[in-house]
C-alpha cells in the first residue's frame, strides 16, 4: 500500500449558487505543487459486476496548481485563556486550586493547568507525571523547582488539588485530598483510599514569564506566535472550578476549598466557572467565564465535553440545565478535534448554471490523490427539478474516520469475516492526529466520542472508499442512486441534512418527491419534524435505505460543522456515562428516536430491526403486492419473481441493515406490506432494542424480526411514502446493466410520484 501524501477538507458540506466554499490542504512536505480540479461524482463502486467508477471533470476557476505545504494540526481539547499582560503570572506568591478526575493518570506527562513555556522551561504548571500530581515553576534558563505528591492518583476519582508558591518561605506546597461521594467517582465511600497528602519542597528558582496563554488541560509548547499557543502534553479527564490566587494559601484554605467553600476572595485572580452560561438551551458555546470579575475569560479548543458531571454531583439530577452547580466540569481528551484550523489554500464561488449535485475537488500530489466532497445546492429558495435527493451528511459525520472493523473488539464478529483494509485505514492508524475520531470510536481514555466535525480530512468520505467489511458505505453507496438517476434521465436537485435542519419542511415543499440515500441513520429532531410535516401536508417520500432516523443528533449552533450525539442502549458502540445523556448544545435528552416515542415507523413506515454484513438476501412478495391499489408499483414484475436477487452490495437487495413494518411501533395502519427479505445468515441478529431478555434464536433464519419490508402508505392531502428498508437496495439498481426488478420498482414509484396528481390512496 502507498503512503498518502496529501489530504484536505472544506469548511462546510454544501454551497449554493453565488456562494463561496473554502478548501484546506496539507501535504506531507512543504515542497512542490499539487493539482486541483472540480469533478462531479456519479458512481463510486468499483465492483466489476457494476458499471464501475464514474466521475465527470468540470471546468472551473479553481482548476490549477497550488503550492504544496505541510500544515500542522492542533490535536486534543483544552481551554485557552489569553494573557498578554501576564496577569496570571504573579511576580510574588500565588496558588492554584482545582478539582481533578483523571481518566489516564499513568499515561505519561499531562498538563492540568499551566502558564508554561516548555521550550524555555519558564512559568508554572500543575501536571501529572508518573501517575502523581506535580507543581513546577521554571525561571526560563532551564532551572526548575517542583513539588511532587507522595500519593499516586486513582483513576476516575475526584480530588481537590492545591499548588502553592510561597517565595517568603522559599517553598512549594501541594495539597491533595479525595472528595469522593456516593456517585461522583469510580469507587464509593466504602473504599479506604490512601490518597490524601500535604507535601512541600524548596523553591530554588522564581517563575519567569512564559509568554504563553494560560492553558487548562495541557502545557504550552513555546512562546505564543501570532497570538497562538500550541498545546502539548494533553490531560485526559475532568477539571472543575480551577482558580488562581495572588497569595500563598495554607492547609486550612486548601481544606475549605475541598468542601467548595469560598476563601480569600480579594486575592482571587481568576475563577473559571465551566457551568456559567448553562441555560434552558444547554451551554452551546466555547466561551469560558471567569467568575472572579477580573475578565480572564477563556475559550474551549477542540470541543471538550460540556454538560459533564462535576466533583459534587450527587446523582439526583440527570439534566445539567436543572442543576448547573453540579455540572461544573469539562471532560478533556488528548484526541479531540473540532477543526484542523489550517490556512486556506483556495476557494470556489459556485457559478450560475452549475447543476445541483454531488461534487468533489480532486487533488493530486506526487503519486497520490484525494477527494474533498461537497454538495452544490440550487439557488437559495428555489427548486430546479421535481426530485430532491437528501445527502446524509449527519450520518457521514457520525461515521467520519471510523475504525470499527480493525480496532473494535467485535468488529470482525459483526461482519462475519476478517476486515478488508485499504490505504485510508492504514493512514488513519498511522496519523490519527491529522484526522480525529468518529462517533463509533472511543477516546484514548475509553469515553465514547460524542462530537464530530466536518472541518478535517474525512478519509472514508471519499467516492472510491470501501468499508472494512468489503463493500461501500455512506457517500459511495449513495452514489448508486445518483448514477441510476443519471442513467434514467431523471432531473434532480441535491440538499444535505444540514440544509434540512436549517430550513425545515419549507425546503422539502419545493419538490414533488424527496429521496433518501442508503443510510440516513442520524437525524436532528428538526429533520424528523420536517419529514413528518412534509408527508402529512401531501409530500411524497422514498426511503431507499435502512436504519434511518435511529439516533437523535444536534448541530452545534455556534459551529455548524460540529455534530453532537449522546448514545444510550441500542445498536451502539458506547453508552453515555450516568448523568450525561443530555446534549450540551441544547440541553435536550439524547439517544434514540424510538426511546423518545418517535420510532421511524411513525414517519417512514418501517424502522430498524436487524443487521449483518456477510451477504445480502432478496425479497419475496407478500399478499399485499397483488392489491390492485399498488399495481402501479408492481407493474412489469411477475407475482412469483424474487425481488433483488442480485446486486453490488452483498449480492442482493435485502441486506446489511434491515427495517421492518411494525404496527406496534407506529407503522400507519393503512400501510401495505409488499415484500419481505429472506435468506439471512446467523450473522444477522435482532437489534438490542427488541431483546428484553437475550435468548437463543435471535438471528437470521430463526427470528421473524430478521427481515426487511417493502411498504407503501398514502398520507393526508395526497401524500405517499414508499420504503425499501434495506441498505443494499441502492446497490442493486445497476445490477445486470440496470435491467432488473429493483430498478423497475424504484422507477415505477418515482415516475408516479413526480406526476402532477395526488399519490395513489391505500
What would the pLDDT profile of 251-270 be if each residue is shown by its tens digit? 999 999 999 999 999 999 99
Nearest of 550, 580, 118 to residue 304 by alpha carbon: 580
Stretch 537-563: mean pLDDT, rounded? 98
What would the pLDDT profile of 41-66 be if each residue is shown by its tens digit? 999 999 999 999 999 999 999 999 99
Separation between Cα atoms, residue 634 and residue 752, nearest integer Å: 12
Query: Which residues, 6 or more positions from 578, have their beta carbon under 8 angstroms from its beta carbon?
Result: 183, 309, 315, 318
pLDDT at res. 2: 80
CA-CA-CA-CA dihedral for 462, 464, 468, 470, to nearest 10: 150
**Summary mean pLDDT of the chain:** 96
Separation between Cα atoms, residue 506 and residue 9, nearest integer Å: 29
What would the pLDDT profile of 586-629 be if each residue is shown by its tens digit? 999 999 999 999 999 999 999 999 999 999 999 999 999 999 99
pLDDT-based confidence at residue 3 (cuts at 50, 70, 90):
confident
Separation between Cα atoms, residue 308 and residue 321, nearest integer Å: 11
pLDDT at res. 208: 96
Separation between Cα atoms, residue 289 and residue 324, nearest integer Å: 14
Separation between Cα atoms, residue 510 and residue 385, nearest integer Å: 9
Structural contact between residues 105 and 155, judged by C-beta atoms closer than 8 angstroms? yes
What would the pLDDT profile of 437-477 be if each residue is shown by its tens digit? 999 999 999 999 999 999 999 999 999 999 888 889 999 99
Stretch 78-83: mean pLDDT, rounded? 97
pLDDT at 143 over 80: yes
pLDDT at res. 413: 79
- The DSSP symbol for 528 reads H
Q: What cell was used for 100?
A: 481533578
pLDDT at res. 415: 79
pLDDT at 657 over 80: yes
Stretch 511-540: mean pLDDT, rounded? 99
Q: What percent of the chain has pLDDT over 90?
A: 92
Structural contact between residues 590 and 305, judged by C-beta atoms closer than 8 angstroms? no
pLDDT at 411 over 80: no
- The DSSP symbol for 464 reads T
What would the pLDDT profile of 285-315 be if each residue is shown by its tens digit? 999 999 999 999 999 999 999 999 999 999 9
The topology (CATH level 3) of 78-332 is Jelly Rolls (2.60.120)
Structural contact between residues 374 and 20, judged by C-beta atoms closer than 8 angstroms? no
Residue given cell 486556506 in the structure block = 344
Q: What are the distances in angstroms from CA 712 to CA 361, 627, 715?
A: 39, 11, 10
Residue 2: burial class (beta carbons within 10 Å; 0-12, 13-18, 19+): exposed
pTM of the complete model: 0.97
The topology (CATH level 3) of 6-72+341-374 is Immunoglobulin-like (2.60.40)
pLDDT-based confidence at residue 724 (cuts at 50, 70, 90):
very high
Every domain of the chain and the residues it spans? 6-72+341-374, 78-332
Task: Provide the β-strand partners of residue 368.
Answer: 365
pLDDT at res. 464: 95
Separation between Cα atoms, residue 148 and residue 197, nearest integer Å: 10
- State the DSSP string of 23-50: EEEEESSS-SEEEEEEEEEEE----TTS
What would the pLDDT profile of 24-47 be if each residue is shown by its tens digit? 999 999 999 999 999 999 999 999
CA-based end-to-end distance of the chain: 55
pLDDT at res. 419: 82
Q: What cell was used for 83?
A: 494573557
Instruction: Return left, alpha or beta for 214; rule: phi > 0 is left, psi -120 to 50 is alpha, else beta.
Output: beta
Stretch 150-162: mean pLDDT, rounded? 98
Separation between Cα atoms, residue 129 and residue 144, nearest integer Å: 15
Residue 569: burial class (beta carbons within 10 Å; 0-12, 13-18, 19+): exposed
Amino acid at each position: 500500500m502507498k503512503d498518502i501524501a496529501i489530504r484536505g477538507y472544506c469548511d462546510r458540506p454544501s454551497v449554493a449558487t453565488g456562494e463561496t466554499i473554502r478548501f484546506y490542504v496539507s501535504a506531507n512536505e512543504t515542497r512542490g505543487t499539487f493539482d486541483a480540479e472540480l469533478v462531479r461524482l456519479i458512481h463510486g463502486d468499483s465492483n466489476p459486476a457494476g458499471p464501475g467508477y464514474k466521475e465527470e471533470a468540470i471546468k472551473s476557476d479553481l482548476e490549477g496548481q497550488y503550492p504544496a505545504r505541510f500544515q500542522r494540526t492542533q490535536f486534543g481539547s483544552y481551554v485557552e485563556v489569553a494573557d498578554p499582560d501576564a496577569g496570571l503570572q504573579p511576580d510574588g506568591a500565588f496558588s492554584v486550586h482545582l478539582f481533578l478526575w483523571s481518566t489516564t493518570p499513568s499515561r505519561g506527562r499531562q498538563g492540568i493547568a499551566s502558564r508554561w513555556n516548555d521550550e524555555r522551561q519558564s512559568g508554572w504548571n500543575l501536571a501529572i507525571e508518573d501517575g502523581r500530581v506535580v507543581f513546577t515553576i521554571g525561571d526560563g534558563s532551564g532551572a526548575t523547582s517542583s513539588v511532587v505528591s507522595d500519593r499516586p492518583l486513582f483513576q476516575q476519582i475526584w480530588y481537590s488539588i492545591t499548588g502553592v508558591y510561597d517565595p517568603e518561605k522559599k517553598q512549594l506546597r501541594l495539597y491533595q485530598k479525595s472528595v469522593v461521594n456516593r456517585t461522583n467517582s469510580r469507587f464509593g465511600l466504602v473504599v479506604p483510599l490512601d490518597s490524601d497528602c500535604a507535601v512541600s519542597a524548596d523553591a530554588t528558582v522564581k517563575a519567569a514569564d512564559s509568554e504563553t496563554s494560560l492553558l487548562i488541560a495541557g502545557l504550552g509548547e513555546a512562546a505564543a506566535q501570532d497570538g497562538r499557543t500550541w498545546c502539548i502534553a494533553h490531560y485526559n479527564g475532568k477539571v472543575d472550578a480551577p482558580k488562581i490566587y495572588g497569595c500563598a494559601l495554607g492547609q486550612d484554605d486548601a481544606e475549605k476549598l475541598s468542601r467548595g467553600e469560598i476563601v480569600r476572595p480579594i486575592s482571587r485572580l481568576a475563577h473559571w466557572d465551566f457551568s456559567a452560561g448553562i441555560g434552558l438551551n444547554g451551554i452551546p458555546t466555547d466561551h469560558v467565564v471567569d467568575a472572579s470579575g477580573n475578565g480572564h475569560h477563556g475559550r474551549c479548543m477542540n470541543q471538550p465535553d460540556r454538560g459533564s458531571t462535576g466533583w459534587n454531583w450527587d446523582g439526583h439530577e440527570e439534566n445539567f440545565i436543572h442543576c448547573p452547580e453540579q455540572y461544573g466540569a469539562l471532560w478533556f481528551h488528548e484526541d479531540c478535534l473540532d477543526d484542523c484550523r489550517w490556512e486556506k489554500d483556495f476557494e470556489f464561488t459556485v457559478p450560475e448554471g452549475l447543476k445541483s449535485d454531488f461534487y468533489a475537488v480532486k487533488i493530486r500530489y506526487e503519486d497520490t490523490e484525494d477527494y474533498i466532497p461537497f454538495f452544490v445546492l440550487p439557488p437559495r429558495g428555489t427548486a430546479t427539478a421535481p426530485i430532491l435527493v437528501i445527502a446524509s451528511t449527519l450520518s457521514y459525520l457520525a461515521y467520519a474516520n471510523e475504525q470499527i472493523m480493525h480496532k473494535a473488539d467485535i468488529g470482525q464478529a459483526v461482519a462475519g469475516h476478517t476486515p478488508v483494509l485499504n490505504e485510508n485505514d492504514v493512514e488513519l492508524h498511522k496519523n490519527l492526529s491529522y484526522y480525529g475520531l468518529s462517533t463509533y470510536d472511543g477516546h484514548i481514555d475509553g469515553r465514547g466520542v460524542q462530537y464530530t466535525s466536518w472541518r478535517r480530512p474525512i478519509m472514508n468520505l471519499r467516492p472510491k472508499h470501501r468499508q472494512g467489511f468489503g463493500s461501500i458505505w455512506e457517500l459511495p453507496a449513495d452514489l448508486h442512486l445518483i448514477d441510476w438517476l443519471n442513467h434514467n434521465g431523471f432531473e434532480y436537485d441535491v440538499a444535505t441534512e444540514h440544509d434540512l435542519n436549517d430550513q425545515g419542511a419549507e425546503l422539502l415543499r419545493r419538490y414533488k418527491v424527496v429521496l433518501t440515500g442508503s443510510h440516513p441513520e442520524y437525524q436532528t429532531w428538526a429533520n424528523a419534524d420536517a419529514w413528518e410535516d412534509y408527508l402529512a401536508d401531501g409530500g411524497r417520500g422514498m426511503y431507499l435505505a435502512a436504519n434511518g432516523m435511529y439516533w437523535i443528533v444536534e448541530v452545534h449552533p455556534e459551529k455548524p460543522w460540529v455534530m453532537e450525539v449522546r448514545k444510550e442502549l441500542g445498536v451502539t458502540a458506547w453508552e453515555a456515562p450516568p448523568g450525561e445523556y443530555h446534549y450540551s448544545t441544547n440541553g435536550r435528552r439524547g439517544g434514540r428516536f424510538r426511546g423518545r416515542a418517535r420510532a421511524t415507523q411513525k414517519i417512514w413506515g418501517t424502522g430498524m430491526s436487524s443487521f449483518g454484513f456477510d451477504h445480502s438476501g432478496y425479497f419475496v412478495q407478500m399478499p399485499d403486492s397483488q392489491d390492485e391499489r399498488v399495481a402501479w408499483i408492481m407493474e412489469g414484475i411477475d407475482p412469483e419473481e424474487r425481488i433483488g436477487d442480485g446486486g453490488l452490495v452483498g449480492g442482493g437487495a435485502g441486506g446489511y441493515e434491515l427495517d421492518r413494518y411494525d404496527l406496534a411501533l407506529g407503522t400507519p395502519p393503512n400501510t401495505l406490506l409488499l415484500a419481505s427479505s429472506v435468506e439471512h445468515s446467523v450473522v444477522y441478529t435482532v437489534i438490542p432494542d427488541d431483546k428484553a431478555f437475550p435468548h437463543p434464536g435471535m438471528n437470521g433464519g430463526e427470528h421473524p424480526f430478521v427481515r426487511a419490508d417493502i411498504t407503501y402508505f398514502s398520507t393526508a392531502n395526497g401524500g405517499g411514502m414508499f420504503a425499501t428498508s434495506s441498505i443494499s437496495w441502492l446497490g442493486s439498481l445497476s445490477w445486470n446493466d440496470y435491467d432488473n426488478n429493483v430498478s423497475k420498482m424504484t422507477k415505477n414509484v418515482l415516475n408516479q410520484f413526480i406526476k402532477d396528481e395526488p399519490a395513489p390512496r391505500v
